[in-house]
Structure 1
Amino acid sequence: MKTETSQQKSLPNWEELLQVAQQNTTAKWISRPGQTPATATISSYLHRLSPEEKPSVLLYRDTHAWCPFCERVWFALEEKQIPFETELIDLSNKPQWYKDMVPTALVPAAKIEGELVYESKDILLALEKKFDRFPLLPIASQEKSVALDMIENFDANGLVRSGYEFLRGKPFNSEQSTETIPEQMAAQLLNLQTTFETKLDQLEVTLGQYPGVYFMGEFSLVDIMYTPAIRRFAANLPVFRGYSLYNNDRFPRLNQWLTAINKRSAYQRVKPSPRTNNLIMHKLFGVQPIHNNKSLSVTQPQPHAEAGSDKQDYFMEAAARLSSNYQTVIADIIKNSGIKKWVSQETLPSIESAIDGHLRRLVHCLIEGSIPLFSDKPVDSKTDQQNEGKEELAADAAVGAIALAFLRNRVCVPRDMSAGAAVALETTIDAMLSSIY
């Protein structure tokens, strides 16, 4: 394979791509050279502080931004427009200083004006006490008491537990596997579904106790407590159980609530994508998708489609995040996609060049908003030179297909980019893959 094709030479270089993308996106992040992840999303409101001013909140959260409890705190910080710093904790190798500092050794934890607070519920209440701007608890004493009770006794009816048991296909306290007995498996799933639906019925009643779409009528910490789990169920259940919360006539208030949550600009910045949620459920917890759903994605019907900032901003964010991190991405593709097994020291430069070219083409497509043809298909030829050119093109296409398909499922939301940007990246990659062959 040649080191660079003529098509790759015609593409802008990485510096040019990054400059254009950054000029056209409002997304903010920092680079972390030599660390994992290599970039990290930052508070939307750090710009309000003077250069010498330190944020009064330091949030400790997981590196992948998968943790639903960390998501609660991040969501609240964005809703209350509190500038904050973030320290990322590798859950697979927690640093000793963190285990010494936090008695539970769990995330999230936070230092609020220097005071350590841990457990997501306690952090939310501490933020509410310290920062009275944009309050997230009702003002009226009776409603506030109800909200605090709901926060304190979150999931008292076992909704979240029953949802995950339905996803797993068996109760948490059961070690018995019924996967080899279809009749028992079907009966158990039906029982688990019935239990989950009963809990959802109770949630539906709770959502109707005050006027408005939110639990307390107005958006509050109660909504933040429920959001991560319910949104994950909304993504997971269609893929792994063929069951949808969206457009489910049995739960009209829940659907109104899901729509309202998804429209909040703060949640757009912190929410995972459906694909990320489904890959986590499959790869980390071993839950198998039904109907051989290889994509592990789910198309959300309107009105639950990605909403929020301008669509172009998502494409530019994806372009900028990839451009600012392309060297790490290329190294990850070579190391973990399977390509490395067939690469020698002699062929490595040409493989790296091919991947580089396909990624630059991807970023160029994100910026321009169109998918050019990969190349004109070479006509059949009997000459050795033309056959060699055809083989070169096919080899480059194969490397590109592997790299792009790997990247599509590798992107983690919101660690690598926002959910809207991830959708922009995924759809562009899908279109590029179709154009390669």
Structure 2
Amino acid sequence: MSIQGTLSSWEKLLDTARKHTSARRIKRPGQSPSTAPIPSSLHKLPPNTAPPVLLYRDTNSWCPFCERVWFALEEKEIPFETEFIDLSNKPKWYTDLVPTTLVPAAKIEGKLVYESKDILLALEERFSTPSLLPENPEENAVARQWVEEAETNGFRDIAYKFLRETPTDAHELANLQAEFETKLDELEQALGKYPGSYFLSSFSLVDIMYSPHLDRLAANLPVYRGYHIKGNPRFSRINAWFEALNQRPAYHRVKSDHITNNLLLRRRWGVEPIGNPLPLDPADSEKIQFRAEAAERLSDNREVAIADILKNSGVQALAVDGNISAVQEAVEFHLRLLADYLINGNGASLPGGRTGGKDSLDPTIAAVGAITLAYVRNRICAPRDMSAGAATAFRAAADKVLASVY
């Protein structure tokens, strides 16, 4: 089994990608996750100064409550460091430290705070600029009331009941949907109280309280209930709110993508899909900065990716006469092919351009490549591995290269 043709080296791919994106991550050898985002405000700290906030969060960046705190830290430009907690095997020191044993928790200048709402309010009290609560006393009181009600008004419970429960008949499902729509109607009305697209007259903690859950519901419901929030004329203000969030750089750093959200729901809750996911955003898949970020992430973290594929994708079963090194070479080749395509994007690096055409590619190499590309397409998690925009570009490119292999 041999691979014909040449590709740019990993070093050259990495160097080129970094010229087109400022996205960087800290490597965490032998740890999970294998990389971690660098807070956008970390550069503001004087040398050898510890960040004022330590955030305890989940390893996979799936927790919507952790996302709330991360969102606020990025919006308020507060330097912070992160301690990742494995939720399937929480360390004793953490369960001893945090009374609820849940994430998130945070130490704000050494003081422990837990529960996402309480952390958000504590950050607002300690770091008042930029403010995420209105200066106007009346509007400030409304904001604080809505922050509290986001936890107590039943929206989240009713929404996930509609999403996750298996109703006994169509009548029960219709009732669950009606309850959920009543709650969405309440949010729709709340978004009309003040001018602009946010809950209040400017972006605030109220938006942060709702964004992770509404993001997940907008992604999950079309697939698992055949129900759409986005594009639904009944919820025009909620859709305008999504558009307003999409203009915020901090939102792009912390949000997930809809494929990650849908894979998570199926893995965690065993819900079976009945509809189609929202399409990949073609704008994101073609943006140079997102393609470059995806290529940078793959190139910089390639050793971890290759080891994961060899261990967990099943490609080793294709080894001829036990030649695992040849399988590893094919895995590495197709990942470089993907990184090259993300950077060049003109088809020159696809098998038809550099390996003599699809039909001439060794069948075993092609099979290893197909498994590799399909595996990494579904394995990546946003924002654990890269931003949601980069994940969209990564998946679209993987589909393109996969189609060229088979």
TM-score under structure 1 normalisation?
0.88
Offset from partner CA, 1:53-110 (integer Å, 9 cap, x none): 2211111111100000000000000100111111111111111111111111111111
Aligned to 1:27: 23
**Hey, what's the Cα distance between the residues in 2 that align with 1:111 and 1:301?**
37
**Hey, what's the Cα distance between the residues in 2 that align with 1:319 and 1:241?**
34
Aligned to 1:337: 313
TM-fit CA distance, 1:339: 2.0
Query: In structure 2, what residue type is equivalent to 1:426?
Result: R
Q: Within the alignment, does 1:299 sit opposite 2:295 as a pair?
A: no
Q: Within the alignment, does 1:75 sit opposite 2:64 as a pair?
A: no
**Hey, what's the Cα distance between the residues in 2 that align with 1:116 and 1:356?**
44
Query: In structure 2, what residue type is equivalent to 1:280?
Result: L
Query: In structure 1, what residue type is equivalent to 2:225?
Result: R
TM-fit CA distance, 1:346: 3.2
* Alignment check: 8 A CA contact 1:60 1:107 kept: yes
Aligned to 1:251: 235
Q: Which has the larger radius of gyration?
A: 1
Q: Within the alignment, does 1:323 sit opposite 2:299 as a pair?
A: yes
Q: How many residues align?
A: 402
Tell which deviates more after alignment, 222-231 or 93-102: 93-102
Aligned to 1:158: 154
Query: In structure 2, what residue type is equivalent to 1:206?
Result: A
**Hey, what's the Cα distance between the residues in 1 that align with 2:270 and 2:224?**
11
Aligned to 1:424: 393
The partner residue of 2:114 within 101, 111, 118 is: 118
Q: Within the alignment, does 1:280 sit opposite 2:264 as a pair?
A: yes
**Hey, what's the Cα distance between the residues in 1 that align with 2:334 and 2:318?**
19
Aligned to 1:349: 325
* Alignment check: 8 A CA contact 1:262 1:306 kept: no
TM-fit CA distance, 1:301: 7.5
**Hey, what's the Cα distance between the residues in 1 that align with 2:338 and 2:74?**
31
The partner residue of 2:373 within 404, 409, 413 is: 404
Aligned to 1:361: 337
The partner residue of 2:175 within 163, 185, 191 is: 191
C-alpha distance 342-361 of structure 1, shift in aligned 2 (>3 A): closer
Offset from partner CA, 1:235-275 (integer Å, 9 cap, x none): 11111111111121111111111111122111000000000
Q: What does 1:121-270 align with in structure 2 at a 5 Å threshold? A: 121-170=117-166, 178=168, 184=169, 186-270=170-254
**Hey, what's the Cα distance between the residues in 2 that align with 1:47 and 1:128?**
21
TM-fit CA distance, 1:371: 2.5
C-alpha distance 155-204 of structure 1, shift in aligned 2 (>3 A): farther
Query: In structure 2, what residue type is equivalent to 1:215?
Result: F
TM-fit CA distance, 1:345: 8.1
C-alpha distance 42-300 of structure 1, shift in aligned 2 (>3 A): same
The partner residue of 2:58 within 43, 59, 62 is: 62
**Hey, what's the Cα distance between the residues in 2 that align with 1:336 and 1:207?**
46
TM-score under structure 2 normalisation?
0.95
Please, which runs of 5 or more residues in structure 2 have no aligned partner? none
Aligned to 1:6: 4
Classify the secondary structure of the residue corresponding to 1:266: helix
**Hey, what's the Cα distance between the residues in 2 that align with 1:306 and 1:204?**
27
* Alignment check: 8 A CA contact 1:206 1:215 kept: yes
Overall identity of the aligned pairs, in %: 54
Please list every run of at least 4 consecutive aligned residues from structure 1 whose deviation after the TM superposition is greater than 3 angstroms.
340-346, 375-379
Classify the secondary structure of the residue corresponding to 2:233: coil
**Hey, what's the Cα distance between the residues in 2 that align with 1:346 and 1:394?**
17
TM-fit CA distance, 1:155: 4.2
Offset from partner CA, 1:5-52 (integer Å, 9 cap, x none): 122xx1122222212212321112100111111111120111122221
**Hey, what's the Cα distance between the residues in 2 that align with 1:330 and 1:300?**
25
* Alignment check: 8 A CA contact 2:284 2:393 kept: no
* Alignment check: 8 A CA contact 1:28 1:44 kept: no
Tell which deviates more after alignment, 203-212 or 338-347: 338-347
Q: Within the alignment, does 1:106 sit opposite 2:82 as a pair?
A: no
Offset from partner CA, 1:196-246 (integer Å, 9 cap, x none): 111111111111111221111211001100000111111111111111111
Query: In structure 1, what residue type is equivalent to 2:150?
Result: F
* Alignment check: 8 A CA contact 2:319 2:326 kept: no
**Hey, what's the Cα distance between the residues in 2 that align with 1:65 and 1:80?**
20
Offset from partner CA, 1:352-383 (integer Å, 9 cap, x none): 0000000011111111122334134487xxxx
Classify the secondary structure of the residue corresponding to 2:351: coil
**Hey, what's the Cα distance between the residues in 1 that align with 2:280 and 2:311?**
33
**Hey, what's the Cα distance between the residues in 2 that align with 1:343 and 1:97?**
44
**Hey, what's the Cα distance between the residues in 1 that align with 2:358 and 2:181?**
57
**Hey, what's the Cα distance between the residues in 2 that align with 1:301 and 1:377?**
29
Aligned to 2:351: 374
CA RMSD of aligned residues (A): 1.9
Offset from partner CA, 1:300-339 (integer Å, 9 cap, x none): 679xx759xx921111111111111111111111111122
* Alignment check: 8 A CA contact 1:42 1:86 kept: no
